[in-house]
Amino acid sequence: MKDLKHEPCSEFGACPECGKCDAYMNVNRNHWLVCHEHKYKWCAGLDLFGTWRDENDDTWDANAEHLAGYATVIPRYFMTAFEELRQVQMRGAA
């Protein structure tokens, strides 16, 4: 499990309940982001982080088992600074 405490993960979505994203776990090339508090998971995508290449079936089996206890949700997305700026510009043009 990769701790995301020090990494921005908003571009991959956040827990719809609390807006947090605690870690990600790989199952093969799939990256699952999780909120431990609410036991939610959402798939960030495939092969975005190279870490899965250093793992093996044992790790993925353990991760899949852990994730089985988590509910799949649609994550919440926050606007990036760029999107915010674009919205401000659009409002100015209207």
Farthest-apart Cα atoms in the chain, separation: 56
Long-range contacts of 85-90 (CB under 8 A, 24+ apart): none
Distance of alpha carbon 12 from alpha carbon 80, whole angstroms: 11
- When the beta carbons of 17 and 61 are compared against Zn ion, the nearer one is 17
Q: Does 9 bind Zn ion (CB under 5 A)?
A: no
Token readout for 22 is 């605690």
Distance of alpha carbon 67 from alpha carbon 50, whole angstroms: 20
**At its nearest, how many Å lie between Zn ion and the CB of residue 71?**
11
Q: Does 17 bind Zn ion (CB under 5 A)?
A: yes
Selected range binding Zn ion among 28-36, 47-55, 66-74, 85-93, rule: CB under 5 A? 28-36
**At its nearest, how many Å lie between Zn ion and the CB of residue 16?**
8
Q: Does 71 bind Zn ion (CB under 5 A)?
A: no
> Which residues form the interface with Zn ion (CB under 5 A)?
15, 17-18, 35, 37-38
